[in-house]
Structure 1
Amino acid sequence: MERLVWLNGAFVPEAEAALPIRDLGLIYGEAVFDTARTFGGRLFMGAEHVDRLYRSLEAVRLPEPMPKAELLALTEELIARNARALRPGEDWWVTQRITAGLRPLDGEALEREGPTVLIECTPLPLRARARFFREGIPAALARRPRTPPEAVPPHAKTTNYLNMMLAQRELDETRPGAWAILPDMTGNLAEGAGCNVFFVRDGTVMTPADTVALPGVTRAVVIDLCRELKVPLRIGAVMPDEARAADEGFLTSTSLCLCPLRSFDDTAFPVPGPVTARLMAAFSKRVGFDFVAQYLAFDTGGAAHSGL
């Protein structure tokens, strides 16, 4: 069955969906997005992702296209309509994208008023990332810093990922296969290229504050689990040397959930470390789904792909 998307008021086949060349999201990058995932075909924390999407709209001064509840209902309907397109054992990335709409031309009426709204379902990269749950993810400090909060607020999830992509490409030149962890402007750790980062030292979980990093929805779940399990937690500045001296580490993201780090720079970690393993198990219990087993079911021993 062909996948459908929802675009500006209609469900259409993905292959037929098209944006005008004068869309401001394409021309100037005036767009925000958010991505949730499904577990066993069921949307996880959809309302929380929509809330964050609307905070992104507010941060970049774009208007709300519709009430949150309506966007969430359309998202759930799209998942239901695409159910037969989901292959056995797989799940979706579920993304909402909102742009500033069409660029006005002098003396011409717009063909459509208001923002562009797209909702899409994309198969999770289970095959491409399966090995990470067996071998762990290698990570390293990027040279290029995260865009400072004074320039672009980190809580705005915009479609402009050039900062992170450049950091990853530069790192690829010296450490092929390693995931980039970007520093902030002071040299402390900020976040990964599309993920949040955690380290564990002497039983204490450390993660950068969301003043320098996107406040990930999965990150928030892990922080809640640390408190529930009474795992010592420190949210704040994490220096690169602290990360290199850590006992274990892991990344969080919508698709990965929690995935252990194999290394940071030249420091090797157990895969997974004991605290990481405990949090992974607690996360699976929280969502009612064994996400690690899902990934490992697609482990073919091939090359793994980075976060971007």
Structure 2
Amino acid sequence: MSRTVYLNGSFVPFEEARIPIMDRGFLFADGIYEVSAVLDGRLVDNEAHLARLDRSLGEIGIRNPHTIAEWIGLETELAERNGLDEGVVYMQVTRGVAERDFAFPPADTPPSVVMFTQKKAIVSSPLAETGARVITVEDLRWKRRDIKSVALLAQVLAKQAAAAAGVAEAWMVEDGAVTEGSSSTAFIVTKDRRIVTRPLSTALLPGITRAAVLRLASEADLAIEERLFSVEEAHDAAEAFYTSASAFVMPVVSLDGRTLGDGHPGPLTRRLRALYIEMARAG
């Protein structure tokens, strides 16, 4: 059965979906995207993702084409049409189609909207059992990383560096401190069992899964520190993990070839992953 996608008001077969060459997302990466997880056929923490989508659109001056209720309706129908029980729904909004010009097109130019689903084993991911290996790379991105822009070349290069090294993820580094992963939020656990992650700023994306994990950790009376941490501190961590909509809580067992802890997913990381899955399934 062909996968169904959503394109500018219509559900169409994947093979028939077409984007005009003058779409500003194609020409300038002038757009915003968002990803929500689906587990047991239900969207996970979805309204927070839609709120971030709205914020990112506002930060670059693109009109949000749908209300939250409309977005949820489209996501739900798309997941149902594709029989998606576990995986992700991808949403993208660009500034629309107009003759190529760096300046914004006329204000009445309608935004372009694209949505598709991807099936993915999230809960039963083999990587969650073995733990992920990670490398560090230089952070080459622009200064407004809090905006979930489709301009992802630096992240693509980081992810390709990880692939070339035979590892799962790359953590980006600026001025000696870890900012975040190429598609995730980075966490370490110190030897005295403190969970450390970088505080929110324009230097990193405000991760929705990050926020949920910090809330769950706080509710479980776990020690949390939101501060910068260096690559050297990460190399010496007792545990590490990263979070994202498509990975939930992913244990990290080595960084730059250095084994963390005993080389297996740590107990605190496993606990947080279990808490997050429980939350996701509770709806």
Residue 105 of structure 1 deviates from its aligned partner by 6.9
The equivalent residue for 1:80 is: 80
Matched, 1:18 2:27: no
Matched, 1:194 2:180: no
Superposed CA deviations along residues 255-286 of structure 1, whole A, max 9, x for unmatched, are 11011101112431242111111111211221
Superposed CA deviations along residues 190-220 of structure 1, whole A, max 9, x for unmatched, are 0111011111011000111221211111111
| 8 Å contact from structure 1 (residues 139, 180) kept in 2 | yes
Matched, 1:102 2:102: no
| 8 Å contact from structure 1 (residues 138, 178) kept in 2 | yes
- Check 1:156–1:172 CA distance in 2 against 1; reply closer, same or farther (3 A cut): same
Q: TM-score, normalised by structure 2?
A: 0.89
The equivalent residue for 1:177 is: 167
Residue 75 of structure 1 deviates from its aligned partner by 1.5
Residue 170 of structure 1 deviates from its aligned partner by 4.0
Superposed CA deviations along residues 121-145 of structure 1, whole A, max 9, x for unmatched, are 1112669x93312221111211x21
| 8 Å contact from structure 2 (residues 135, 167) kept in 1 | no
The equivalent residue for 1:282 is: 275
- Aligned equivalents of 2:121 and 2:92: distance in 1? 20
- Aligned equivalents of 2:14 and 2:178: distance in 1? 38
Aligned length: 273
The equivalent residue for 1:114 is: 110
| 8 Å contact from structure 2 (residues 27, 100) kept in 1 | no
The equivalent residue for 2:62 is: 62
- Aligned equivalents of 1:147 and 1:105: distance in 2? 24
- Aligned equivalents of 1:169 and 1:42: distance in 2? 31
The equivalent residue for 1:203 is: 193
**1:40-59 correspondence to structure 2 within 5 Å:** 40-59=40-59
**1:1-308 correspondence to structure 2 within 5 Å:** 1-83=1-83, 86=84, 91-104=86-99, 113-124=109-120, 130-142=125-137, 144-149=138-143, 153-170=144-161, 175-177=165-167, 179-184=169-174, 186-201=175-190, 202-211=192-201, 212-269=203-260, 270=262, 271-288=264-281
Q: CA RMSD in A?
A: 2.3
| 8 Å contact from structure 2 (residues 146, 204) kept in 1 | yes
- Aligned equivalents of 1:208 and 1:32: distance in 2? 23
- Check 1:172–1:75 CA distance in 2 against 1; reply closer, same or farther (3 A cut): closer
- Aligned equivalents of 2:222 and 2:142: distance in 1? 30
Q: Percent same amino acid among aligned pairs?
A: 29
Moved more, 96-105 or 112-121: 112-121
Q: Gapped runs of 5+ residues in structure 2?
A: none
